Amino acid sequence: MEYLLDREKIDKFINKNGKYTFKRRSITYVLPLPTREPERAKFERGFSAITGGVIRKVNEKDVHVSTSDDIIDDIIADGKFQDDESKTLFTHFLKDQVKELTEGKVTTLTQLGRIPLTDNVNERKGEIDLIRFFFDTFIRDNIDRLQTILQNHDDSDLITEILDLSTSDTANQKNSMTYYRCLFPQLREQFMRDLENLAKNPSFLAGHLSLLMVHYTFVAMSQLILQTNKLTGFNREELQPVYYLLEWEKAAKWRDSYRYGNKMLLGEMEGFFAHEHALNILGMNTFSTDRNQFYHDLKEKLSEAGPEAERQFIKSIYAWLSEVYHVKTNIVVEAYKVDKTLEMAFSDFIEAIKKGISNEVNSRYPKAFEAIISKFFRKHGGPLGTILSLSQEQLLMLVAVSITEDRIELKQLWKELERRGVWLDHHSKEEVVKVLDKLNYMEKKSDSGDAQYVKNVL
C-alpha cells in the first residue's frame, strides 16, 4: 500500500472554475461555525430552540416544527365545537399557547420538544448546525439511553398532545447522516450521567436542560479548539484547563480567569479556519477512507504502518505543497528535509494554508463562537474586555449534577467541576463556598471546618 495524499480527490475539492478555493466539509467537519454572518445563530430564545431540535431528533422527528397559523387552522378544522363562541375561544387559547412555546416559555420536558427554530431562514442554518454538532457529539451513540429518559418523563399536556397531532413522526432522512465526530468520549459519558442525575427531579430537568446543553456544547467546542491546535498531541482523555469567573466577582489581570479563559480561547481561534481546510485535504489519502480524521488519527494509522509509511506520507505532503499549492496560490511553502517529522510536516502544512485564508474569513469564522460566549458566559471586564463567567444559576446547575449522593466533600466538588470543563481559582472557590453556605448547602463535619461537605442540591 502507498501512503500518499490522493491528488485526484484533492484536485476536485480545491478547484472551482480553475481557481484554488479554501473549502471545508467534504469529508471532515470540525466546528459548527458558519462563515457567513446571516447564518449565525443569534439565540433569540436562549438555547431552547437548539434543545427543542435535539429532542425532536432523538424522537426521530424532523428538527423543524411549524407554529404557523396554518397549523392552528388545520387543528380547528378537525375539531368539534358546540358553537362559534367556543370555537373562537379555543382558537385564541391555542394561539396564546403556541406563542408561549415560540418564546421558549415552557414548564415541561415535552413542551421543550415543541420549541421551534428561529423564524429567520438564514439563522436557522446556524441553529441546525449546532443541533447536529450536539447530537453527533453527545447523543448519537446513546440514543436508546436518552429515549428511555424522555419516555420515563412523559409529561405531555393537552396543548402538546393537540399540536403533536399535526406533526409528522418521520424524520427527514438527511437528519440521520453523521456530520461530526465525538472526540471526547469521557465528556460524552459525563453528560449522559448528568442528564440521568437531573432526571431524578423532573421539574429541575425541564428548567435546566437547555442550560446543561449549552454548557456541554461550549466545553466541547473549546476543547476541540485547544486540542486541535496541538496537532498530533491531541488528548481525548484529559481536558485542558479553562478558567471561569463568577458573574459577581471583580475581574483582574492577575486572575486565572483572565489569562486562561476567554483571552486564551480567542487567541487559540486565530487562524483556526485553516484546520477546517487542511484536515479535509489531509484526510484525502490513499490509505484511509474514514471520515473526520484529525492529525492524531493520521499519526496513529501511520505509526501502525511503520516508519517507512510515515516517511512516505511526509514526503507526499511537502511534494503537494510545492507542486500544487505553491503553483496555484504563489504562496511560499517550506521545503522537504530528511529531518522533518510528521508533526513538523503538519505544522508547515497549516502555516502554508493560513497564509492563503482571507482576512474576511478569519474574522467572520470565530464570530459564532464569540456569540455563544456573549450570550451565555460573558462578564464585561471593563478594560479587560470579555471574561468567561458563570451566573449563580449556572453554578448551582453544575453543583446539582456533580452530586449523586447525599453529599460530597468540598474538595471533591472542584474535581467534579473540572470533569465538566470548569476550573476556578482560589478566590472564585471562596465565593462558591459563600454562595452554597448562604443557601444552606454547606455542612461542616467539625467546628474546625477541616472537613466541609456540600449537600445534594436536587
CATH number for position 447? 1.10.10
Comparing C-alpha atoms, which of 138, 119, 164 is closest to residue 51?
Answer: 138
Cα diameter, the chain: 88
Q: Do the domain assignments include residue 228? A: no
Cα–Cα distance measured from residue 259 to residue 385, given in angstroms and rounded to the nearest whole number: 12
* pLDDT attached to residue 175: 46
Q: Does position 146 have pLDDT exceeding 90, yes or no?
A: no
Give 379's strand partners. Answer: 387
- 325 shares its domain with 384: no
Cα–Cα distance measured from residue 241 to residue 220, given in angstroms and rounded to the nearest whole number: 13
Better-scored residue on pLDDT, 46 or 297: 297
- 20 shares its domain with 54: no
Comparing C-alpha atoms, which of 245, 229, 218, 220 is closest to residue 369?
Answer: 218
Cβ contacts of residue 431 below 8 Å, gap of 6+? 246, 248, 249
Retrieve residue 387's grid coordinates: 471574561
Q: What is the rounded average pLDDT of the residues 19-41?
A: 96
Q: Do the domain assignments include residue 444? A: yes
Domains held by the chain: number = 3
Comparing C-alpha atoms, which of 185, 197, 146, 149 is closest to residue 408?
Answer: 197
Domain boundary among 316, 343, 364: 364
Q: Does position 79 have pLDDT exceeding 80, yes or no?
A: no
Comparing C-alpha atoms, which of 452, 448, 431 is closest to residue 389?
Answer: 431
Under a CB-based contact definition with an 8 Å cutoff, are residues 10 and 324 in contact?
Answer: yes
- 393 shares its domain with 318: no
Comparing C-alpha atoms, which of 362, 363, 366 is closest to residue 374?
Answer: 366
- 13 shares its domain with 50: no
* pLDDT attached to residue 26: 97
Cα–Cα distance measured from residue 417 to residue 401, given in angstroms and rounded to the nearest whole number: 9
pLDDT band at 115 (very low <50, low <70, confident <90, very high): confident
Comparing C-alpha atoms, which of 409, 399, 402, 400 is closest to residue 432?
Answer: 399
- 12 shares its domain with 88: no
Give 327's strand partners. Answer: none
Comparing C-alpha atoms, which of 314, 252, 317, 310 is closest to residue 281?
Answer: 317
* pLDDT attached to residue 32: 97
Under a CB-based contact definition with an 8 Å cutoff, are residues 275 and 420 in contact?
Answer: no
- 18 shares its domain with 106: no
* pLDDT attached to residue 231: 98
Q: Does position 68 have pLDDT exceeding 60, yes or no?
A: no
- 444 shares its domain with 308: no
Cα–Cα distance measured from residue 458 to residue 81, given in angstroms and rounded to the nearest whole number: 44
Summarize pLDDT for 315-370 with one digit per residue, the tens: 999 999 999 999 999 999 999 999 999 999 999 999 999 999 999 999 999 999 99
* pLDDT attached to residue 436: 96
Q: What is the rounded average pLDDT of the residues 184-195?
A: 96
Cα–Cα distance measured from residue 219 to residue 419, given in angstroms and rounded to the nearest whole number: 10
Q: Do the domain assignments include residue 111? A: yes
Q: Do the domain assignments include residue 229? A: no
Cα–Cα distance measured from residue 135 to residue 160, given in angstroms and rounded to the nearest whole number: 23
Q: At what angle do helices 392-402 and 185-198 cross, to 10 degrees?
A: 90
Cα–Cα distance measured from residue 149 to residue 92, given in angstroms and rounded to the nearest whole number: 33
Cβ contacts of residue 315 below 8 Å, gap of 6+? 336
Average pLDDT for the chain = 89
pLDDT band at 457 (very low <50, low <70, confident <90, very high): confident
Which stretches of 284-425 are DSSP H helices?
A: 295-305, 307-320, 326-329, 342-356, 359-364, 367-376, 392-402, 410-419
Q: Do the domain assignments include residue 207? A: no
Q: What is the rounded average pLDDT of the residues 406-422?
A: 95
pTM above threshold 0.75: yes
Domain boundary among 132, 154, 179: 179
* pLDDT attached to residue 119: 86
Q: Do the domain assignments include residue 206? A: no
- 20 shares its domain with 59: no
- 278 shares its domain with 345: yes
Q: Does position 216 have pLDDT exceeding 90, yes or no?
A: yes
Q: Do the domain assignments include residue 345? A: yes
Q: Could you give the count of Cα atoms lying within 13 Å of 57 in the half-sphere of its Cβ? A: 28
Q: Could you give the count of Cα atoms lying within 13 Å of 368 in the half-sphere of its Cβ? A: 23
Q: What is the rounded average pLDDT of the residues 163-190?
A: 73
- 12 shares its domain with 73: no
Cα–Cα distance measured from residue 124 to residue 41, given in angstroms and rounded to the nearest whole number: 7
Retrieve residue 332's grid coordinates: 511560499
pLDDT band at 391 (very low <50, low <70, confident <90, very high): very high
Q: What is the rounded average pLDDT of the residues 141-146?
A: 90
pLDDT band at 165 (very low <50, low <70, confident <90, very high): very low
Cα–Cα distance measured from residue 289 to residue 292, given in angstroms and rounded to the nearest whole number: 10
- Parent domain of 421: 377-455
- 145 shares its domain with 39: yes
Domain boundary among 146, 179, 212: 179
Give 455's strand partners. Answer: 407
Cα–Cα distance measured from residue 379 to residue 255, given in angstroms and rounded to the nearest whole number: 14
* pLDDT attached to residue 173: 47
DSSP 258: I
**DSSP strand E in 200-330: where?**
245-246
- 22 shares its domain with 39: no
Comparing C-alpha atoms, which of 387, 443, 372, 130 is closest to residue 259?
Answer: 387
Sign of CA dihedral 97, 103, 109, 114: positive
Q: Does position 75 have pLDDT exceeding 90, yes or no?
A: no
